[in-house]
Chains A and B, each alone.
Chain A
Amino acid sequence: MSERELIKGNEALAYGALRSGLNAYFGYPITPSSEVPETLAMEFGSPEFPDFKVFLQSASEVEAINMVIGAASTGAKAMTATSGPGFSLMQEGISYAAGMELPIVVVDVNRAGPGLGNLGPEQSDYFQATRGGGHGGSRSIVLAPNSVQEMGSFPSLAFSLAFKYRNPVVILADAFLGQLKEDIVFPKTVSEKFEAPWAATGSMGGSRHLILSLHLDFEDQKRHSEDLMGKYERVDSSEQRAESYLTDDASVVLVAYGVVSRVCREVVDELRSRGVKAGMFRPVTLSPFPAVRLAEVASRGRRRFIVVELNMGQMVYDVRLAVGGAGSVESVRDLGGMVPTAREIARAAEGEKVG
Chain B
Amino acid sequence: MDSPAGEYEVKLGRLPTLTGKPTHYCAGCEHGTLTKLIASAIDRLGIREKSVLVDSVGCSVFAHDYIATDAVQAPHGRAPAVMAGIKRVEPGLVVFSVQGDGDAISIGLLELFYAANRGEPITIFLVNNAIYGMTGGQMAPTTPQGMVTTTTPRGRDTKYTGPTVDASKLVSSLDAPAYVKRVSLPLEPLPSTYLYSAKGTMECAAAVENAFKVQMMGGFSMVEVISTCSVNWKMSILESKRYAADVLSKVFPPGLYKDKFGVERR
Chain A residues packing against B (C-beta within 8 Å): 23-24, 26, 53-54, 56, 58-60, 62-64, 66-74, 76, 78, 92-93, 96, 100, 200-205, 208-214
When chains A and B are docked, how far (Å) is the Cα of A76 from the Cα of B64?
22
**Chain A-chain B contacts (Cβ-Cβ < 8 Å), number:** 127
Which residues of chain A are within 8 angstroms of B81 by Cβ–Cβ distance? 58, 62-64, 66-67, 69-70
Q: Which residues of B contact A (CB under 8 A)?
A: 48-52, 54-55, 61, 64, 68-75, 78, 81-90, 93, 110-111, 113-114
Specify which chain B residues have a CB less than 8 angstroms from the CB of A96 in the assembled complex. Answer: 73-75
Partner of A67, one of B88, B90, B113: B88
Q: What are 22 A-B residue pairs whose CB atoms fall within 8 Å in the complex?
A: A24-B88, A24-B89, A26-B85, A56-B84, A58-B81, A63-B78, A63-B114, A66-B78, A69-B74, A70-B83, A71-B88, A73-B86, A76-B89, A100-B73, A200-B52, A200-B70, A200-B71, A202-B51, A203-B48, A211-B73, A212-B55, A212-B72
Q: A56-B88, A59-B110, A66-B111 are in contact. Are A73 and B82 (CB under 8 A)?
A: yes
| Residue of chain B at shortest CB distance from A26 | B85
Q: How many whole Å from B266's CB to the nearest CB in chain A?
A: 26
Q: Are A70 and B86 in contact (CB under 8 A)?
A: yes
Chain B residues within an 8 Å CB radius of A213? 73
Q: Is the CB of B52 within 8 A of A67?
A: no
Residue on A nearest B92 in the bound complex, by CB: A202
- A63–B110 CB distance below 8 A: yes
The chain A residue with its CB closest to the CB of B117 is: A59
CB <8 Å contact, A66 and B70: no
The 10 closest A-B pairs by CB, nearest first: A70-B85, A66-B81, A67-B85, A70-B82, A66-B78, A202-B50, A71-B85, A200-B70, A204-B49, A70-B86
Partner among B51, B61, B72, B89 whose Cβ is within 8 Å of the Cβ of A54: B89
Smallest CB gap from B47: residue in A: A202
19 new A-B contacts at CB < 8 Å, known A56-B84, A96-B75: A23-B89, A24-B88, A24-B89, A59-B113, A62-B110, A66-B111, A70-B85, A70-B87, A71-B86, A71-B89, A73-B86, A96-B73, A208-B70, A210-B64, A210-B71, A211-B73, A212-B64, A214-B55, A214-B61
B114 (CB) vs chain A CBs: closest residue: A59
Take A63-B110, A63-B114, A204-B50 as given contacts and tell me if A214 and B73 are in contact as well, using a CB distance cutoff of 8 Å: yes
